[in-house]
Amino acid sequence: MKTTKEINQWGVRSVSFWMTMLIALGIIFVGAKFLISPNLGATDFGIPFSNTNDIAFGRIKGIRDIFSGLVLLPLLILKMRRAAAWVFTAAIIIPATDCLIVFATNGPLDIQHLLIHGLTAVYMMITSFLLFRN
């Protein structure tokens, strides 16, 4: 017979664990890209730099993205599902706002970048639901 702790154990066997890990590692990768190649990072984001002075802002975004991913890793490693759920849910504001910024800057015809940011926000909403539901 399994104990309550064993039944409620969350970790590598959970889909929500890996969905969260994917976002954490993905945003670390995006941040590293902004640090290593800020121009490429900005272009991939959907708003290329207009001059070389903007490169510093790309690096600022890069380190913040890396932090956003790193903050989730200890919660995943320590199997702190509820804490991960709250942090992850709060982080939905980032891709949602990114989508709005791309829309305000490029307009509705930049479907590719709007979808990247918008679908990331939707993916994170689904993951948050699963994190709280487990």
The pLDDT tens digits of the residues spanning 19-35 come to 999 999 999 999 999 99
DSSP label at residue 58: H
Domain that holds residue 92: 9-133
**CB-based contacts of 118: which residues, under 8 Å, 6+ apart?**
95, 96, 99
In a domain, 2, yes or no: no
In a domain, 3, yes or no: no
Asked whether the whole model's pTM tops 0.85, one would answer yes
pLDDT value of residue 3: 45
In a domain, 127, yes or no: yes
Angle between the N-to-C axes of helices 93-106 and 111-133, in degrees from 0 to 180, rounded to the nearest 10: 170
In a domain, 1, yes or no: no
- 92: exposed, middle or buried (C-beta count within 10 Å: 0-12, 13-18, 19+)? middle
Query: Number of structural domains, the chain?
Result: 1
Cβ atoms of residues 105 and 114 within 8 Å: no
